[in-house]
Amino acid sequence: MRALKWSVLIAAILLVIGVAALTFYIVPQQDAKMNVVIDHAPYVISEDAQAFHDTLTVADLHSDSLLWARSLANRNDRGHVDIPRLVEGNVKLQVFSAVTKSPRGLNFDENDGQGADDISLLAKVQFWPPRSWSSIYERAAYQAERLIKLEDNGNLVIARDAQSFKSAMAGDKLVALLLTEGAHPLEGKIENIERLYDKGYRIMGLQHFFDNELGGSMHGKSKSGLTPFGRDAVIEMRRMGIIIDVAHSSEAVVRDVLAMSDTPLIISHGGVRSACPATANRNLPDELLLEITGRGGIIGIGYFDGVICDISPGGIADAVIYAVDILGADAVALGSDFDGTVTTTLDTSELAAITQALMQKGMERRVITKVMGGNAVRFFSENLGK
Ligand SMILES: [Zn+2]
């Protein structure tokens, strides 16, 4: 009896040590290792550039910050985004994306969705609710609940339709929109579109790094177009006024979606293929981008290797300028992919460095106003449902 008591006590102590090690050491260390800001001296921002940056309505189309076990209400010394740093960077609108499945050995060329899934592991070691350990839908639901908690605590406002978007943009709080990174949280069921809508999702990516029930990923095996289920899902998303993100979709999927209707699309984080041919397996070809933007779509330019060739603030500015030259001043926005296991040269508190680089490279202030956020705000004002 006594031996049994001891073994229960030892097991309990080991459990506490294990939970503490995960919470305070292993998980934070992994977060810091995966969402890197390269060490740099503080960027020197001129008074003029800072003053101009402070007048801008800054918007970012893609951040995966809901994935990580850090309080977004407080300033952190790791990762790219939290609310104090968004405020410091003068960001008014942040799209928060929910990553729900990520194949081990992720690459841009060819992934299989059947093998080990790192988000399943992350859900367990970060003590997400057990319902999310095996259900992809529940992982999206849980990440929305994290954002809703921030809203309930008065940290931000989640826009749910065009009207609430406009009034939130006129208010003094950070405005947030929810995006699913790929539509695999549907788990093959059309009715889950409405359940995710009810959780607050107003933008849905169709694919992430692997082919799913809706069709081929740019980084999947098949590179195929929409499946019959994918077509039904696109029709249902449009019926509900959900904006479609084709950031990781195969070219065939993008063509199929474009053939279905003229409703504008977004690419929440990406780049222009001809700007940097090394990014061919991550960025859509220019002619497809032109079709998207020609119908009122926008592209968020990412800050990481794979979508642009030079990730310095000056390199990001070059990528933005190139995109404006090819696609027009109304089609280009920011799409950081912050906290999306990317390495960057700045976090969100340092966005004035991009504004300054655009100014130094001669972009007109009128155009800087658009790319730093004006285009994104216009797009959502016009395309969020009623
Ligand atoms: Zn992504």
- The share of the chain scoring above pLDDT 90, in percent, equals 84
pLDDT of residue 280: 85
Domain ranges of the chain: 35-383
With b meaning 16 or more CB within 10 Å and e meaning fewer, what string describes 116-135? ebbbbebbeebebeeebeeb
* pLDDT tens per residue across span 269-314: 999 999 998 888 899 999 999 999 999 999 999 999 999 999 999 9
For range 3-9, the mean pLDDT: 83
| 181 Cα–ligand 1 center, Å | 7
| 33 Cα–ligand 1 center, Å | 18
Q: Judging by DSSP bridges, how do beta strands 298-301 and 266-270 pair with one another?
A: parallel
For range 229-257, the mean pLDDT: 97
* pLDDT tens per residue across span 31-47: 889 999 999 999 999 99
pLDDT of residue 1: 65
| 20 Cα–ligand 1 center, Å | 31
| 219 Cα–ligand 1 center, Å | 11
| 336 Cα–ligand 1 center, Å | 10
| 299 Cα–ligand 1 center, Å | 13
| 60 Cα–ligand 1 center, Å | 13
**pLDDT at residue 24 is higher than 80:** no
* pLDDT tens per residue across span 320-348: 999 999 999 999 999 999 999 999 999 99
* pLDDT confidence tier of residue 198, bands split at 50, 70 and 90: very high
CA distances for 116 relative to 98, 101, 102, 111, 122, angstroms: 19, 10, 8, 11, 12
| 2 Cα–ligand 1 center, Å | 54
For range 174-184, the mean pLDDT: 98
| 51 Cα–ligand 1 center, Å | 32
| 233 Cα–ligand 1 center, Å | 20
- Write down the architecture of domain 35-383 according to CATH: Alpha-Beta Barrel (3.20)
